[in-house]
Structure 1
């Protein structure tokens, strides 16, 4: 098992001067984050949300305007990157083109002036871990993109850091290889148990890799939770819209439950989920909600994921099909209900009835999948 360390970001802030020099803006706006030892945490959000700046502050490559970074409870604000117990895997791989695989991986150990025998043992063990044993004498230009990324990962891990940092490491790979490499990264992280912080704008990567996801927007944190919590119980319209595909249906709260259920996951103690009765499409539906956030009479949006709607010849709500698209493993539909367009997906369409534009259908809505948020 690798060394592990917890990370705390306390009121972490990064302020920049605008290009015109006439003012400042907050790239990271007083955020607070707790990362437990051994957790895999992803910073997720659109371009410019502050996720990469946050990672670079943890690594020591970016100065801090305010706040603290604690590693196992010890403040590391003033430490240079080489004095922090962390290693970074970069987006560009940053391999030395004139070094072979062995020398690229062992570069940091040579700088530490370790003896040759120790370096050889550590490097070969690491190449075995990342599946590159037998390729130690290849040059970077003789490797595929995925193999180069493995070299970069091995080079970071061989230093035996307490924290591993990833700056969009898969963005240069094609779609199929990205899926394969994210699975490999997660396997390796779980095998050695190292605390990992991963930056991406790709929601699929975040969902597949993470114990905890931190959604950022405009320098602030929108929501922190497990992939399940983030997807099923989004805290805002932004989160629901950013993670996956979602329909937003206006509704009115009729009543709210007095008791909720506390969620538990690898991300730690989760949010408390309650239920509310809402009026939607002229009918009453029971919807999940974050406990304590809604009250009777509130105007809300009900989040309905496309996979929670099934088209049928009878059901809850009458609708008209306006678009029907065959996508292979699924049929994508757009339907019109009371002036609202809803997107829905039917998996394995070859075994089900396919509806065409202009058809009258009924929506069978999975009631357990509804989630209400404030407008």
Structure 2
């Protein structure tokens, strides 16, 4: 009997690898002689670097880069086991965790550090970069990232623009002559499920700006600045990015990547499925266990458990997919489909405060996995 165990992290508690180990620990109490394949997963957001490094026996690296407020921060990125693929989370350099209620200001925050992480990866001689772009503190259209990789964004006086989305209102010329030449030989995959355009009522500023501290006046300022940025890029470079799907991801970083690199967008979970080798591991599976900290109706929109279920069902259609989650929210009935999830179990043992539930995570996940395994054993006779 073979169990494939492919969870995401349980946010704030267990990494994906720790969650997989806890599930395997519980199941082994019932089936000690079974075969186990542990495949830590992610969906392109937080935990993607760690999951892909764990899944491929890669390594974690660090670099000192520019944070969203212009201060130095230490950011972690990954080099996968093939030695030729880097994986970056933009949030490691430009994330919302670097600001608070007193410092957040999307008029001035920058993605410059994300560009520095790209350059750090290029320095390792990689031929491919996977870039997860969730969790940003920025709304600068990827302008900071562009400047870090050698793009010059100048005003009418020929001066380089300062950091931040508001400064884009003064953009006059785009100069790509000093773009890092190493980018020409590197494939860049953007891991994102965001399809918002750059500007407008569903654009980066209107939808995501308030989450980063933007007032209504700031939203209007930023949306106008990004619109001007898109107009200049269109006039001087060709791409029309104002309404391009995904251009609004991470405060417009999607647009900057589309304009200034040879980047392509893909669903985060699909990228992780491919690079983790999940389908190959699942081809002869008897049971698949997955999960994450919380699950609800939104899980069907690119979240790890649903992606794992669809990927494994495509190669092992008769292998039941079991989800373990710390919180089971509303509307999970939509996840019960023939080509997806078969059963969902909450792992939290009894009513307890959130900090205690997090502290008990490994124990409770293992206990729930054991209980499910005992049910499997009873049904198999």
User: Of Structure 1 and Structure 2, which has the larger fraction of its residues in helix?
Assistant: 2
Q: Same fold (TM over 0.5)?
A: no
After TM superposition, the score normalised by the length of structure 1 is: 0.27
Using CA pairs under 8 Å that are at least 6 residues apart, name the structure with larger relative contact order, 1 or 2: 2
User: Of Structure 1 and Structure 2, which has the larger fraction of its residues in strand?
Assistant: 1
After TM superposition, the score normalised by the length of structure 2 is: 0.27
Q: Give 1 or 2 for the bigger CA radius of gyration.
A: 1
